[in-house]
Amino acid sequence: MLSLLSSLMSNKKEGKSVAAYMDRVKSLVDDLSLIGHPLNDAQITAHTLNGLKDEFKELTAAVRVRDIPISFEDLYDKLNDEELTQNHGESKEEDTRVITTSTISANPINLATINIIKIGNSHRMVEVLVSRIPILPHILGI
């Protein structure tokens, strides 16, 4: 746990895109949560803002004075928008990433995997994979 927390505290944006930086923050926060040490929005925001340089100082100041902590998703969107503004509308790298993958089953034979992709500031369900898994009825006990 201390290693993950130390990694989160020392994580810096330094030359990375907002997407790459925030993905690293999210990964560390998720790992901490998995081992039973979840962080609240205020803690996540504090660690995230501490890793930013002066290029985000106005946004950092505005977020720090909020009465209600900002969600991770909203902070990501604001940082991404600020990065786009600083780069005159050009993203450092394409911001397309899978944010949710779900596997659903209507019955034991048909499975569907749905990938929700974040593209810029919008979420799109862009991929649905349906597969048939041949399972013998006697194995399932039917």
Which residue type is seen at 126?
V
Residue 91 lies in a domain: no
Is 77 in the same domain as 133? Answer: no
Is 35 in the same domain as 80? Answer: yes
Is 115 in the same domain as 51? Answer: no
pLDDT for residue 137: 47
**pTM, rounded to two decimals:** 0.61
**C-alpha span between 28 and 94 (Å, rounded):** 22
Is 61 in the same domain as 101? Answer: no
Write out the two tokens for 131. 């597969």
Integer distance in angstroms from the first to the last C-alpha of the chain?
Answer: 45
pLDDT for residue 88: 79
Full domain range(s) for residue 7? 2-86
pLDDT for residue 118: 52
pLDDT for residue 21: 94
Average pLDDT, the chain: 76
Task: Summarize pLDDT for 47-63 with one digit per residue, the tens.
Answer: 999 999 889 999 999 99
Number of domains in the chain: 2
Residue 59 lies in a domain: yes
pLDDT for residue 2: 87
Q: Token pair 């990938």 is at which residue?
A: 115
Task: Summarize pLDDT for 12-23 with one digit per residue, the tens.
Answer: 999 899 999 999
Residue 15 lies in a domain: yes
Which residue type is seen at 134?
P
**C-alpha span between 3 and 92 (Å, rounded):** 30
Is 7 in the same domain as 71? Answer: yes
Q: Got the DSSP string for 19-71?
A: HHHHHHHHHHHHHHHHTT----HHHHHHHHHHT--GGGHHHHHHHHT-SSPPP
- Domain with residue 122: its CATH number is 2.20.25
pLDDT for residue 27: 93
Answer with the one of 58, 86, 114 that is the final residue of a domain.
86
Is 55 in the same domain as 112? Answer: no
Is 79 in the same domain as 34? Answer: yes
Which stretches of the chain score pLDDT less than 50? 94-96, 98, 101-105, 111-112, 115, 119, 121-140, 142
pLDDT for residue 89: 66
pLDDT for residue 133: 46
